Chains A and B, each alone.
Chain A
């Protein structure tokens, strides 16, 4: 049983089609990242899963139960983007309130609250009113309330928004710990570097459609592109390699070798050894998630935002010229 499953999920806001038949599966113990530009439909998808927005058509289940069913949310923790906790609560009283809604006993609440607040570093402000918290503190509290009732699935929408770099690292560590405990995490984030660091799989939404999905290692791998480096003072005979059919270009102190159909890197390595050159560096080239995201989005919707980008480039060029 998948933790999250959607099949041909659609959402229509009057004339605007926010989701156009999205199908995805998130399995137990995964950290799944959902990427997309603003307005791509990420929040709509999450809100449908949590019963905050009603789906127009399609099927969606959460922990095996149809979404919209309040009991399905019993084992789900959620941190929304731009959340507003009631300012009249303190961190402690808020967790008590939410704990009661989840049916936690007083004993459990009294045990979990100090644990959670310590985990997110809010112990010292446990009794202060939330209205006195900074944005980062509210975000930490949001994370605490999402984990508080020990849910099986945690949905986090921009969890590091407003958090300083040290706090971000702590949050990443917490997510990793949760994964180690067998929890499933569904992550919405614009910080692609972070997503790349913690997620097992990602999906890219573009204008309501899932245009790419897979595990990060596979998605970011650039098939047939290797970077090699030789011992100090040795130069790669580029032209000879090109004559053998490889595409070669210099990148700093290294060389980038492109393989074509039927070619393998082993041929290059053997050739270098035969030439008496000493290989010191060999890696299969990967792209960053950000590169992948931009390339995927541009490929799916060529020309999107181009006028704006051009304008920005002109402005930048103008400033540099001055």
Chain B
């Protein structure tokens, strides 16, 4: 009863201002805008043409490396012929046979590196005297290499037919999210290679390329992305990314005044004189603030989930769990805001302090991530002194894991939206996800400490 009374009072306080109406209005507008977006599957011809255009990008370590990649102009890929093997209502459900033509146009490059220069092109120049140079073999050799600096990889001579066919299969699976059942070489000469690739249709639509339309089909945007990727961009990058930050910021601004207002002279006497323990009062106020953000987030996320599901057919249930993740994120910030509010009894101090703390967490998480990238790569591991690793590890251990929480909420969206190829392209398949239990427990302890300090101060001081 008392809990509900405080909860309802906090809600009244929140809805008293215009900010919540603006927030809900903005959420509604956003939901309507996303509802206006349609997703049109592209034809098989167009899909395979678009997919083969992307074959220009090759990553080392069988398209798994994060550090090494190349843009190749030496090869030209073309889906010369696309034949449906089975009839299907939707293009993604049919089996196809694609004749892939690879032409070697410029054996001497240019190879445009992005990242450290790979070893393969240099080796190709060494082999030039033997007149055995093949750009395709170079690229396959690079694709099969580990991507490490000191890895000389396979010599182009060692690239056999099986590896080349695996390479072609991987190109389709990596860039096109399609399941390849068979790859065979049709014809080949020094400059031209032809392969026949058989793909299997899928009931799911996530991996197939779609074009987004706006205003219920009135406007088509010439972007061909898999349906899963389009939904992922909306749900993760826009809602869970920008939207969550806005929701958290609004939440901080709106709830920061709850405690200072309650502790104003003349107001605090009234509430403390009621038969409620001070600690309970503070905790109920805290939960009241969380409830406000929960309702706001639930409204926006559920709305977006509903309209994207209805319009795209992709029902990413994991996206709904971001409601709790964003609320938990806010719980960390609000615990700080609460403590600052109790200590200073000033709304501005609570807001500024919380935002500064939020920035500090983001900075600490970003530094940890950047340093961790160096640590994971054997070639760069020793470039940073060990005390730096120890320092960032210590800071990461004691601070709430907001950056990890960001990653985990992304994971919730990723698992229900992206196809395997998309996950590989975004390097999400090799990403080491933080553990939920670790993130929740460390952050939870932090919340408890903040609340404990605030409760202690609130309970012991005179008003």
Query: Does B275 contact A102, Cβ atoms closer than 8 Å?
Result: yes
Known contacts A80-B273, A85-B270, A103-B1, then 8 further A-B pairs from the complex at CB < 8 Å, ordered by chain A residue: A70-B276, A73-B274, A78-B269, A80-B269, A86-B13, A88-B13, A89-B12, A100-B5
Q: How large is the interface on A (under 10, 10 to 19, 20 to 34, 35 or more residues)?
A: 20 to 34
Interface residues of A in 45-88 (CB under 8 A from B): 47, 50-54, 70-74, 76, 78, 80, 82-88
Number of A-B contacts (CB under 8 A): 81
Minimal beta-carbon separation of A237 from chain B (angstroms):
62
Determine whether the beta carbon of B1 is less than 8 Å from that of A86. no
Binds A, one of B259-267, B351-359, B393-401: B259-267
Residues of chain B contacted by A73 (CB below 8 angstroms) = 273-275
Known: A47-B463, A52-B462, A88-B16. A70 touches B269 (CB 8 A): no
Contact yes or no, A86 B267, CB < 8 A: yes
- Closest residue of chain A to B9 (Cβ to Cβ) is A97
How many of chain B's residues touch chain A, expressed as a range?
A: 20 to 34
Contact A84 B12 (CB under 8 A): no
The distance from the CB of B57 to the nearest CB of chain A, in whole angstroms, is 57
Chain B residues in 8 Å Cβ range of A84: 264-267, 270
- The 16 sampled A-B contact pairs (Cβ below 8 Å) are A47-B269, A50-B269, A52-B463, A53-B462, A53-B463, A70-B276, A70-B277, A78-B270, A84-B265, A84-B266, A84-B267, A86-B9, A101-B6, A101-B276, A102-B274, A102-B275
**Are B4 and A100 closer than 8 Å at their CB atoms?**
yes
Please give, as numbers and ranges, the residues of chain B lying within 8 Å of A133 by CB-CB distance.
Answer: none
10 A-B pairs closest in CB distance: A100-B5, A88-B16, A84-B266, A80-B269, A74-B275, A53-B462, A78-B273, A101-B274, A84-B267, A73-B275
A52, B268: Cβ atoms closer than 8 Å: yes
Instruction: List residues 276-310 of chain B with CB under 8 A from any CB of chain A.
Output: 276-277
**Chain B residues whose C-beta falls within 8 Å of the C-beta of A76 in the assembled complex:** 273
- Which B373-420 residues have C-beta < 8 A from chain A? none
Chain B nearest Cβ from A128, distance in angstroms: 14
B460 at the interface (CB under 8 A from A): yes
Check: B19 CB closer than 8 A to any chain A CB. Answer: no
0/1 interface trace, chain B 1-19, chain A, CB 8 Å (1 if under): 1101110110011001000
Inter-subunit contact A51/B8 (CB<8 Å): no
- Which A positions have Cβ atoms within 8 angstroms of B? 13, 47, 50-54, 70-74, 76, 78, 80, 82-89, 93, 97-98, 100-103, 145
The residue that B261 contacts in the complex, of A51, A70, A86, A103, with Cβ under 8 A, is A86
Task: Indicate if the CB atoms of B4 and A83 lie closer than 8 Å.
Answer: no
Report A-chain residues with C-beta under 8 Å of the C-beta of B4: 100
Convert B113-142 into 0s and 1s, putting 1 for each residue whose CB lies closer than 8 angstroms to a CB of A: 000000000000000000000000000000
